[in-house]
Each structure stands twice: as structure tokens, then as C-alpha cells.
Structure 1
């Protein structure tokens, strides 16, 4: 059936409910009321929000019949394919929907299938052998080899994605900022960028935003590897003994190697890192956002407000560093309602400085999204928002015979 304003209202209400487990809950907390008015949807806010149009495009907010309240896992949306197979962790399949509203532009294939292959070697073998037509998360260390394969193309796009080392600011020993800063200074970012990403990215500065955001202030001094200062701050923190760092192959391409490289640079500062390699199955439910020191990834968000609201507001469900500061929360809200770009940029700069110097983030680098396509794949569009053309590759691409 056609999408109605009531479907939109029900979807937004479901995701903005305080009891919701939605990843969009954090950015929808400022909504007061949602209602249909004829063919319009009217959203009333509790507080000003200059980024509201961007928030409505959050990838969690897929419009479903009656908001998905009846059967949220039915997979009924507004895309060019209807779900025929749904086996989470194994595969998903779809066939072209005859009444798709933009059939002349998107959805060129009669059928599509997403196969879950978590092992990077097996994933590349599937592409090389023609079992799949495109893959995400190509490991940077094999990119040069992949480029030599006949018919295979590397698709790399810079953007807002980053691969963090997350520390819980409210959990010992990471509740001590001297210790957090020592761990930040013990990171050799240039070496990490060269050896892990092979240059497919840029160094990070321990904040979740970079120059890809229009209102980013680029006047911060780049944090550098300083083992002597790291050692002094580590001693000042009073901590002794090893520090447990959890990682997994699924955290990001090269995550296990990144943890080992970090272990080596920390050793130069007299900091002992113990690495625990966790299985891929269950990493995002049992380790990420539950264990106090682990590797992760973020795809970034369209605006700084959305990034900060999703992961660094005190009330955010996805606050994976347990960074909870009332003064920081007030700055997020102030920037959200500020229409003067110069003033807004200044607030974001101050927020970035707090995050950089007092937060629980170690951001060694911002990554490029490195995907690969096989023989005959046409129509690819580089998109800095997320991997696989911001998730749109299956509807934008086609196969050339």
C-alpha cells in the first residue's frame, strides 16, 4: 500500500518512545509531539533543533506500516525489493517489488541476496571466485593485491567513519583522566595509519568528528605519540599492573593487528596492555558498550549534533565511553538550537576540546570505506556516509553482461 502520514507518525513515535531500544532514540529525545495534518506530518520540539531535517533521514527511521508496531521484523518498507529470505547472521534475500515508486531509477536486479561472511579471507575468496558481486570491509593490507585481480575494482571513499578504542570514563582505572590521557599519548597514530590502514584514512585526534563535517574547527594541535609524557601521567594516575583490551576481527578491518601494534607502543611508555581476542559472534552484544576497554567502529553521522547526541550525551543509550558531563550536555543543546553558524562552530570547537582532553575516546584514525566489486558491476557511486555506497549499492548498481 502507499505510505501515509499515519505510517510516518507511528514510526517516529515508536522510535522516540522512552522504552524504545532504537539507535535513533538519542536524537529524537527533543521531540514533544508528532501528529498527522492532512498530507503533512507535524513535529513539535521541546527545544530548538536546527538539524531536524537531517535527523529525519537517520537510517534507523525506516518508515514501516503502522510504524512497525504490528510486526517490526516483517521487513516491509518503501524500497525496491521485498523480503523473501530473512536469516540473521546467515543471509537475506529479496525480489524486485513491482510497484516500487522509483522503478525507473533504482532496483535494477530481479533478485538480490546478502550473504554474511565475517571472515575477511573467505569474503575476498567469494568475490574472486564469482560467488558474490561486491563485498564490504576489504582489509587495507591486501588492497594492493586485490587491485591486481582481473575484473575486481577497489571502491574507497573518505568520510566520517572512525575506528575508536573506547574507555569507560566511569569505570576504574579509566575513571582517572591522567590514566586516560596516558593511554592517548601512548598511541602512535602515524604508525597505526601506515601499518593498519595502509594510508586509506587520516590520523584522528581523540574526538569523533573531522573535517568532513562542515562546522568542524580545524585549528586543534594534532596529538602525537609521546611515550615519556605518557609514562609520567601513567605513574601519576597511581595505576599498576596490566590493562585489559578487548578486540575482534569484526570490530573493524585489522582490529586485532591494531590492538597488537598499540600494545607495542604502550610498552615503550611502560604501560602493559593485555589483549583478549573475542569471537566475532556476540561481540556487538557482549563486548561493545558493555566492557570497559574495547575496539569499535562508528560510521559517523550527517551532522555533529547527531554524532554527539547519539553517543556522548549522558542519556544516550549508545554512550559507549560512559562520558557523562552535565556541562557538555548543555553545550550539545545550545549548539543544536543555534542558527548563527559562527557561534555554533565555536560551541562545537569547545565540545571537541573537552572530548579530546577529557573524554574516553582514543581515535587513532578516520577510515576510508574500502569495498570491492567484481566483474560487470556498474553504477557504483562513491558515498562518504557509509560503506557500500551508504548501503545503497544493491539498489543503485547493475550487472553488465
Structure 2
């Protein structure tokens, strides 16, 4: 079995994969990184104006569905692993992990010094109960599909957790970075899903769902070099103009998703800086493939050729992005298929596909709100204008921002959404495209795709794996129900007093939503 010293830190993802393919993996997981731009210091209050947040939000980790709750999850609780800036899976609560040569049995060793905010030490039973909370026939957790591969979970003493999988999975540790899978305390084989006791750097002082949360730093936090703010206040400020005004007037120190149409106003303020991240962010318009007319692949292809992707990138994203191609794997991710034919705006081709569907015209409603993504309403209107040339009439239905993710997404047959992506193709496909996945927002079920998903997950030959993931991207683009017009840069704005490490994780916005623990005030 290949061994990696804990003093050397976690290997890169490429190195990890090579080791797994070689037969057996054992990894020591350091928390260190490269040199930072400045030395972090303790103190200060960070006030954040967030786009998302819903009055229906709950502390139950199985229900998390917006950035407001993701931030709380990572600030108050901890995961087994975290994705580092270099893309590797490094330790959070896990001190190390190792796999059998076929990557079917994974053993995680927990840290001895990790404690909950009530002083109790993390134990294997806490991990097992926390993971099982998202499993089983009654679970509605968004991460449930990623856990169905687990055949058995068991403890080996108080500090070792063993996962036995149905088949090998070389990417398995990345599952435990998911914001749903933060660890709670075990109580007689279960967790209290509403518990606020976590192993993270902060405790909750006040929580008003979809309104605000106040956090205070733990004085006894076990992780060195993290959790620098004395206090953090998260505020739901859904209106883009109000959010930007709050930053310019000093009412908040950080906002996500500034209005790109007026971002030039922020750039004029000497006390404000704009931060951009490349990553896996993509904007989608999911069609329910089980609902007419979207159950006809020709209708789906007609719509994919009736949208002007370049116009959306330039006019809506203001250049902060690139055109999408109706599959969710970003060019920065492993196994990206660069050979796919690009779907482009072509009204004649759209008409051709309508004809194949037996139609000369098409009338559909597109449900949208800027809660779906910054500029979603404008993008929907642009889509409707472009589609007219193909004989397609799109009725743009603007929905309320509050409750969008519970009342519109997954509910309406044609809507706007966004995905922050995942660190590996397997995780992305499993969460949003696998048949039966709770977050399969197109209700898509393609037999060949589902077969490849299982086969690729356990394939340790990297060339074969690349071929499989390449074919899966092709199937998504030509058969899937997700219209993906663009990949976007993550854009945020903040006071010049807000500081961050030189290298941050770009998988999701705001240092993969771990900014509460990793950033500090000058």
C-alpha cells in the first residue's frame, strides 16, 4: 500500500489519482498552504450582504439549498475533508485516510484534538450518525445520491471510520467536502438536525431564517491559523441595488453577486475592491424531460440553438464568463471534453429540430428570477427575443425571489438556475444528472449515461476514465434537458479591509464558501 507522510501535506489531485491507480492509497492530510499575501490577524466584525436566503431555511443539513446556509454550515460545523486551492482533498476532521487497492474500502482516521463547541471530542459515532442522516429511503437530502454507493459504515474504535462501497471509487474522499455533510453529535445513533453545536470556528448567537445570522468566534477552536474574525453577521439583502448601496455606505463589508450592469459604480469607490474567481459556476435553464413538450429531444435541441450565448455573456455577464455548451463540466476540471461541437445560435437549425418534432412553432413559459442567478431575468428576456427568429415564443414569467429555490426550482418544467459545480465529474453528474437524484432538475433518465456513471466511477485506468467522461458530456449536450448558456466568473465586492490568502479555492464563490474561517480583517 502506497504511503504518504503527513508532514508532506496532501498530494495534488493528479498525484492522488496516479497513486490510486497504482493500487492502494494512504494519505496524510495537512492544513497548510502556500505563502499568504499577508499575515492573518484576529479581530473585527465581518458583515456580509448575501443575495440568497429563504424564510423556509432550516438548520437541518439535509435541507441546505442556498449560499446563506452553506456559509453557516462551513462556519459553525466541519467536514471530514476540504478541497484546497490546488484541488486536492485535504483534511478537516480527518487526520488521514487510506484505501484498499481496488478503492472499495476507505478508512478515515479522525483528529485527536478536534472538539465540539461544548467541549466534547469528535468520535467515529458522530461521523457515522451524521452521514446516515442523509441516507435511507426517507431522506430528501441533496447529497443522498452521492451516498448510495456506500454499502456499509462502521467504526473501528472511537477514532476510525470505515466506509465499504458497492464498487471502487477513486474520487470518494471528495464527497465529504459537501456542505450537507458537516458533522453533528451522535445521540443514540442519530443526530439532532436542528442542533447548533458544531466543531467549526464559530457558534451561533442568533439565527433568523432568510434574514440574518450572528456568529461569534470560539476561543477554544482547535484548528490553528483559522477563524480570525471576532464576529460575523450574515444578512439577506436580495435586492442588487440595496446590496451594492450597503457596501458603498459601509453598512456591510462584503457582498456576493454585485449587479454587473452597475459594477462600474463600485469600481469608483476607493474603499471597495472587486474580486473575481474562475471556477465551475454555470448558469442553467433546466427543462423537465418528463413534461411535454420538453420530453421530445428535438424540442430540447431546438431551444439549445435558439439562444444567443454570446449575447448573454456580453450583455448580461458583462464579459465575466464564457459560453456554455449544455454540459456541466468546466474546462478547468479533469476529463473536460474539448472536442465537443459547440452549440451556437442558429435559428434555421432550431427550426429544423422543431420540424423533426412535428412543429412549425413552439410556445413555452420560462420561469425566472434574479435569485436564480445575477441577471437571470435579463438573460431570459434576451433568450425570448432571440428565439422569435426560430418561431419560438417564450413567455418570460418573473417569479418572487423569496422562496424561489423551494417553489420554482425543481417544481416548474422550464426555469432558471445555477450550479456551483463540484470538484470532480463524478460528483457533478451524480448530484444533478443521475436518474432519480433529488437534485436532477431536468428529471432526465438516460440509460447509457447512467451505465457510464457507474462504470467510470470505479475505473482506475485514467485513459478509459477520460473516454467515459467525454462520452457522458456528449450525451448531456445532445440529449440532456439542461440548457447551459454560460459559465460565469464568481464576482464579489468588499471593503479594502477584508483580506484573504494569496491562493484560495475557486470551486465555488467566496473561497468555496469557506471565507468565514479563512479570511480576516486588516
TM-score range, shorter chain: over 0.9
SS at match of 1:44: strand
Pairwise CA distance, 1:42: 0.2
Task: Determine if the alignment matches structure 1 residue 50 to structure 2 residue 170.
Answer: yes
CA drift at 1:17: 2.3
Among residues 5, 13, 18, which one is paired with 2:137 in the alignment? 18
2:520 to 393, 398, 401: 398
In structure 2, C-alpha distance between the alignment counterparts of 1:334 and 1:22, rounded to whole Å: 24
Aligned to 2:358: 238
Aligned-residue offset at 1:70: 4.1
Residue 141, structure 1, aligned to residue 261, structure 2? yes
The within-5 A match list for 1:53-64 is: 53-64=173-184
Residue among 309, 321, 344 paired with 1:189: 309
**Matches of residues 186-225 of structure 1 in structure 2 within 5 Å?**
186-225=306-345
TM-score, with length taken from structure 2: 0.75
Q: Distance in 1 between matches of 2:173 and 2:155?
A: 17
Q: Residues 151 and 75 from structure 1, CA distance in 2 versus in 1: closer, same or farther, beyond 3 angstroms?
A: same
1:257 maps to 378
Check 1:241–1:339 CA distance in 2 against 1; reply closer, same or farther (3 A cut): closer
- Mapped pair 1:173 → 2:293: yes
1:155–1:382 contact (8 Å) kept in structure 2: no
- Equivalent residue for 2:203? 82
Q: Secondary structure at the match of 2:181?
A: coil
Q: Does residue 388 in structure 1 map to residue 510 in structure 2?
A: yes
Identify which of 127, 133, 137 aligns with 1:8.
Answer: 127
Shift of 1:255: 0.4
Residue in structure 1 matched with residue 34 of structure 2 by the alignment: none
Please state how far the C-alpha of 1:238 moved relative to its aligned partner: 3.0
Q: Which runs of 5+ in 1 are unaligned?
A: none
CA contact (8 A) 1:163 1:366 kept: yes
Counterpart contact for 1:18–1:25, Cα < 8 Å: no
Question: Equivalences for 1:309-324 in 2 at 5 Å?
Answer: 309-324=430-445
Structure 1 residue 81 displacement after superposition? 0.4
The DSSP-based 3-state class of the residue aligned with 1:66 is coil
Greater mean alpha carbon deviation, residues 65-74 or residues 144-153: 65-74
Q: Which of the residues 95, 99, 118 maps onto 2:220?
A: 99
The reply on whether 1:288 has 2:418 as its aligned counterpart is no
On the 8 A contact 1:234/1:271 being kept in 2, the answer is no
169-178 or 74-83, larger mean C-alpha shift? 74-83
The farther-off stretch of 158-167 and 75-84 is 75-84
User: What's 1:36 paired with?
Assistant: 155
Aligned counterparts of 2:505 and 2:493: Cα–Cα separation in 1: 14
Q: Residues 278-319 of structure 1: CA distance to partner in whole angstroms, max 9, x if unpaired?
A: 001121111101110000010000110001001111120111
Q: Distance in 2 between matches of 1:200 and 1:379?
A: 21
Does residue 300 of the first structure (1) align with residue 421 of the second (2)?
Answer: yes
Once the two structures are TM-superposed, the CA of residue 130 in structure 1 deviates from its matched residue by: 0.8
User: How does the TM-score come out when normalised to structure 1?
Assistant: 0.96
8 Å contact kept, 1:154–1:372 = yes
Contact 1:245 1:293 in 2 (8 A): yes
Structure 2: runs of 5 or more not aligned = 1-119
Q: Distance in 2 between matches of 1:310 and 1:119?
A: 29
After TM superposition, give the deviation of residue 241 of structure 1 in Å: 4.8
Task: Choose which of 451, 476, 480 in structure 2 pairs with 1:330.
Answer: 451
Matched, 1:163 2:283: yes
SS at match of 1:15: coil
Deviations 1:53-75 (A, max 9, x none): 11122221001111894421223
Kindly provide the CA deviation profile for residues 53-110 of structure 1, in whole angstroms up to 9, marking residues without a partner as x.
11122221001111894421223222110111111100011111121111x4111111
- Whether 1:358 aligns to 2:358 is no
For residues 121-155 of structure 1, the C-alpha deviation after alignment (integer angstroms, 9 at most, x for no partner) is: 11111111111111111222223332121211111
Q: CA RMSD in A?
A: 1.4
2:241 maps to which residue?
121
For these two proteins, the number of residue pairs brought into alignment is 399
Distance in 2 (alpha carbons) for counterparts of 1:100 and 1:20: 32
Number of the residue aligned with 1:374: 495
- Counterpart secondary structure, 1:297: strand
Secondary structure in 1 aligned to 2:340?
Answer: coil
Q: Distance in 2 between matches of 1:232 and 1:94?
A: 56
Q: CA deviation at 1:187?
A: 1.1
